[in-house]
Chains A and B, each alone.
Chain A
Amino acid sequence: MDKRVFCYISFGSNDTVTLGIAALLLLFLPGPGTHATAAPDTTQDATAAYVDTALNIGSVRIQGSRMKEIIAPQRLEGEELQKLNALSVADAIRYFSGAQLKDYGGVGGLKTIDIRSMGSAHVGVYYDGIQLGNAMNGQIDLGKFSLDNVEVLSVYNGQRSEIFQGAKDFGSGGALYIETRRPTFSTGKSSNARIGAKAGSFGLLNVSALAEHKLAHRLSGSLNAEWLHAHGRYKFRYYRKANDGSTAYDTTAVRQNGDINAVRLEGGLFGMLPGGNWRLRGYHYGSNRGLPGAIVNNVWRRGEKLTDRNSFAQFSLRTSVTSWFRMQIATKYAYDYTQFVGDISSTMQNNIKYQQQEAFASLANLFTIRKWWEASLAYDFSYSTLLTRMEPSGKPTFNFPYPSRYSHYLAAATAVEQWGLKLQASILGYFILNRAKQFRKPANVFDYTPAVFLSYTPLERLGLSLRAFWKKSLRLPTFNDLYYVDHGSPQIEPEYVTQYNVGFDWQKSWPTGVARRANITCDAYYNEVHNKIVAYPKGQQFRWTMINLGFVKIKGVDANAAISIVPWDVLTISTKLQYTYQDSRDWTNPKDKYYGHRTPYSAHHSGSAIGGIAWREWSINYSFIYVGERYSQQENIIYNLVLPWYTHDFSLAWDGKIKSVGLRIVAEVNNLLGYDYEVIVNYPMPKINYKFSTCVTF
């Protein structure tokens, strides 16, 4: 087999997958329309070829290529992502329309993503193509995922609309794919290195190092380490005005107990196969942090501490078995450990350890039936367990049920592509077996969810495509939902979402002129959440149980526009605007005072604007984020109103080369006007803050 097909391709980043497949198709589907010019020269290094081809693919559509995802996601990648100077994945989420970040503030504060108000538990977060799990509460803290080694972030509504993927990938209501960097080597180089450091407000110190080496012709490896430390103290202000405009109170205090010390270690091996590739990754994240908690009257400091250890190893392989059959194998083992230590004076049990384990395996098969017709079959299995222990005795907590869950997922999908029309239909079957060593065993779940995705590109040269999807999905009750303390609710059922979406995508680029690239996307959607799992108090002592009660209807529009203009040759101006309209309302029970009211924390209007000016090595970036009025509770009354907020962030960067060493230096000012705001009530956000970073590559 020809060497030139061996190019580094990734599993999740679709452009590069397409690219790899395109390269394959050069062999398998020779004929008119395959842009043979894009094929790498056999004498060239395969990875260099990847770089070369990638340059072409932006404007060239490869005909006869394997079908791409039907609805392109919102994506932040490469330089664009770098320009945000974000520390964690969470900070970057704010620039996606339709996605809401629940941010409890500070470097170590919990940050979770919600897409289109369906609830965080409906959003699948995938790390290099494999879903991150949290069997305990279903929450993925995106603040823990550093952007240091991330190359692409993609947000999908519904699911990633391609059919060659694991069964679980068909299951989420919305999905965030985090793609880490793959080693690529420029001609004549066999290793890369990068060292970065950041320092700034909140006592932030952050050092990271990356080394990549080409180990053999078809094998490369990378090692990445990062350390982050912050004392987490920042000034915040609470004030109220009286109706006559005079000051009722105005007080500024320092956020306490927000310290964090975290280490991340990652290693990867990347290999190529005839007609495919594989990837092995080890990940470890460990952190000790304080939980600053809610600021309430008379309580301005809390002492809870949290220790986290998240480790996983995952392997994935994708290969072409025959010209009409491709296969993907993925497997993972994850061990998560959390220790919660309460206040000395806490009235609750104050030292508990939680241990979660998950084993996962996935097999996906893609069949090319005709050039325009593909089908796939995927099976995923996962096993998860949870254990809690009291410290220091190490005894299990009272009434602990020792839960475990065997989950089988089976997905079948098909895709057709003809005359500019792309259609995909998939169905996912759930076979969930719950086990508990003692007490009531929750019911098993057998269910299925279908989805249909459609896109139509009337004329290639118009750059316009129309799209639509319909999808049903469910979220399973988490271990916390089922077994919360001793008031478990084993009777609770999955929560269901139905999504309808229509939209368009227009993009155009020009090789010359002032405007170089423009892109507008707009989607309107309607979602229904049935059987919503909600927390419900039991007894008088802050005891909660979970019930299936709730019916929510969500209407919304997501819009994005981006343009880059080059008024003079050395100057590039790029802007990106994002706007979200959302109307999420509770229609559970007409007897409720909040019947028909907007759901907590859903703002009608939110948006962001990013602008950048690049002149030679220098660039200035500006970003603006706005979140409109919303309510902290179900009932939409003045007492629950949370005021709109917005921030202005600026950065100045120098990005160039000194001899062969790449150097990037950035100074940034965030929340420039020092606004006092909250994303979540009683969790104040920092006023103006600064960060300096530098990064050396060689």
Chain B
Amino acid sequence: MLHSKKSALRLLIVLGAIAITLSGCWKDPVTPAPKTEEIPVDKTITYKGMFVLNQGSFGQNNASIDYVDFASGSYTQNIYAEKNPNAVKELGDTGNDIKVHGKRLYIAVNGSNKVEVLDLTGKRIGEVDVTSPRYLAFKDGRGYVTSYEGKIVAFDTATLQVANEVQIGRNPEELAIVDDVIYAANSGGLTSNTLGYETTVSAVKINADGSMNEVKKIEVAINLNRLRVDAKGRMWVTSQGDYNSIAPKTYILEKKGEYYEKVKELDIAITNIAFSGDRALYTSTTYGANGVAQSSYGQLKLDTQEKVGDSFITDGSESQIGLAYGLIVNPTNGDVLVFDCKDYKQNGDVFCYGADGKLKWKKGAGMLPCNGAFIQ
């Protein structure tokens, strides 16, 4: 078979040819094009559109944004890389919050240690470097962002420079600004193993000169997460429990004197919350015996916090939702948007429900859709 020099040589030539051929087909990475699909046009919506933030999986650098164009009726997936081809490593790792303020879009990108600043078409303006940012709020030309480093960082929206910061509790989550006081929910979630959970809402005063100081720690419950103020000035704060013996609950805080105080405990586990008219819509995540998460849906009267009906979804289509990971309401027509992250291992879906609780449309999103922001 190979007992001649000629055939041996032939073998070597063949092997060499294979190696050279393989070397010639090195593939360069190419920016994937966005994908656009149609959605029904709804004339009742006066907003131009909505950005959807897909969180991406931790450490994967695959946070992305989608754009929903209400006027033309289209859903476009993954627009960032196309709008910003020169942004090295795209939007980044683990997007957490998205907010429109003025003529700009701000995105807290947790794993990329930045607040990304875009114009309303999705083109990049700049960024603010903040370690492990979580949630955003704005007031008087300043952005405020909670950082898992246990602080609130204030930045100038004109210069995109960090103005100052204030130390609060460990691993703070959502924040809200009422008059000149910032309220931020401390979780202690990342350090619970060694230091236990936090149990307070920090009240931080914004002084006339722009400096901040923590004026009060309001005792609420362990491992706080959501913190929202409704139209009547009531503050809703959710506790995630300890994933063990302490159950998740929801708390109502009201202004007593200068600051808010806990006035009511609701025995309801709320994972996501959104206000719609005189109601608070919510989703709850519960874990089955096998450890798999499931969502349930409900609504409460804003004033009395009593349950209304069973679910804000009325057509039974919640069975299509894997796990509700985000919830927002379109204020112009009461549409409810549920962001479904499935099992955290695949691209999610966006479900749009009418105010009547019937599914209007459903579109594929990116990895872990978690939040959205409307463009007027």
Contacts A249-B86, A298-B114, A634-B346 hold; do A348 and B190 have CB atoms under 8 A apart? yes
A residues 617-639 touching B (CB-CB < 8 Å):
624, 626, 632-635, 637-639
Check B200 for interface membership: any CB of A closer than 8 A.
Answer: no
Check A546 for interface membership: any CB of B closer than 8 A.
Answer: yes
B residues 202-216 touching A (CB-CB < 8 Å):
none
What is the interface size of chain B, counting residues whose CB is below 8 A from a CB of the partner? Answer: 85
> Is A540 touching B225 in the complex (CB atoms < 8 A)?
yes
The segment from A36-44, A511-519, A660-668 that touches chain B is A511-519
> Is A297 touching B30 in the complex (CB atoms < 8 A)?
no
> How does the 8 Å CB contact mask read for B50-62 relative to A, with 1 for contact and 0 for none?
0000000111111
| Residue among A298, A510, A549, A635 facing the most chain B CB atoms (10 A cut-off) | A298
> Is B23 touching A635 in the complex (CB atoms < 8 A)?
no
> Is B85 touching A240 in the complex (CB atoms < 8 A)?
yes
Contacts A248-B85, A251-B88, A646-B23 hold; do A241 and B346 have CB atoms under 8 A apart? no
For A682, list chain B residues within 8 Å (CB): 59-61
> Is B57 touching A296 in the complex (CB atoms < 8 A)?
no
Contacts A240-B30, A298-B113, A592-B343 hold; do A249 and B194 have CB atoms under 8 A apart? no
> Is A537 touching B32 in the complex (CB atoms < 8 A)?
no
Check B46 for interface membership: any CB of A closer than 8 A.
Answer: no
Contacts A297-B89, A398-B194, A539-B243 hold; do A513 and B61 have CB atoms under 8 A apart? no
Q: Which residue of B lies closest to A400 (CB)?
A: B193
> Is A294 touching B342 in the complex (CB atoms < 8 A)?
no
For B244, list chain A residues within 8 Å (CB): 399, 486-487
Q: Which residue of B lies closest to A516 (CB)?
A: B2
For B119, list chain A residues within 8 Å (CB): none
| Residue among A515, A592, A639 facing the most chain B CB atoms (10 A cut-off) | A639
Check A565 for interface membership: any CB of B closer than 8 A.
Answer: yes
Q: Which residue of B lies closest to A673 (CB)?
A: B23
Check A418 for interface membership: any CB of B closer than 8 A.
Answer: no
Check A243 for interface membership: any CB of B closer than 8 A.
Answer: yes
CB distance from A424 to the nearest CB of B (A): 33
For A542, list chain B residues within 8 Å (CB): 58, 190
Check B347 for interface membership: any CB of A closer than 8 A.
Answer: yes
Check B29 for interface membership: any CB of A closer than 8 A.
Answer: yes
Check A323 for interface membership: any CB of B closer than 8 A.
Answer: no
For A487, list chain B residues within 8 Å (CB): 243-244
Check B338 for interface membership: any CB of A closer than 8 A.
Answer: no
Give A491 to B242 CA distance when docked, in angstroms. 18
CB distance from B16 to the nearest CB of A (A): 9
Residue from A238, A510, A547, A575 in contact with B292 in the complex, judged by beta carbons closer than 8 Å: A547
For B195, list chain A residues within 8 Å (CB): 349, 398
> Is A486 touching B243 in the complex (CB atoms < 8 A)?
yes
> Is A543 touching B243 in the complex (CB atoms < 8 A)?
yes
Residue from A294, A398, A643 in contact with B27 in the complex, judged by beta carbons closer than 8 Å: A643
Contacts A547-B292, A548-B290 hold; do A298 and B112 have CB atoms under 8 A apart? yes
Residue from A248, A536, A537, A624 in contact with B31 in the complex, judged by beta carbons closer than 8 Å: A248
Q: Which residue of A lies closest to B171 (CB)?
A: A347
Check B295 for interface membership: any CB of A closer than 8 A.
Answer: no
Given A298-B114, A593-B346, 20 new contacts (CB under 8 A): A240-B85, A241-B31, A251-B88, A297-B112, A298-B113, A299-B93, A345-B149, A347-B150, A491-B290, A514-B3, A515-B3, A538-B287, A538-B293, A549-B292, A563-B2, A592-B345, A594-B346, A635-B347, A646-B22, A648-B23
B interface list, Cβ under 8 A from A? 1-5, 7-9, 11-12, 15, 18-19, 22-23, 26-33, 57-62, 64, 78, 81, 85-93, 109, 111-114, 127, 129, 131-132, 147-150, 171, 173, 187, 189-196, 225, 240, 242-244, 287, 289-293, 322, 342-347, 366-367
10 contacts between A and B (CB under 8 A): A249-B87, A249-B88, A296-B112, A347-B148, A347-B150, A513-B3, A536-B292, A547-B292, A635-B346, A638-B32
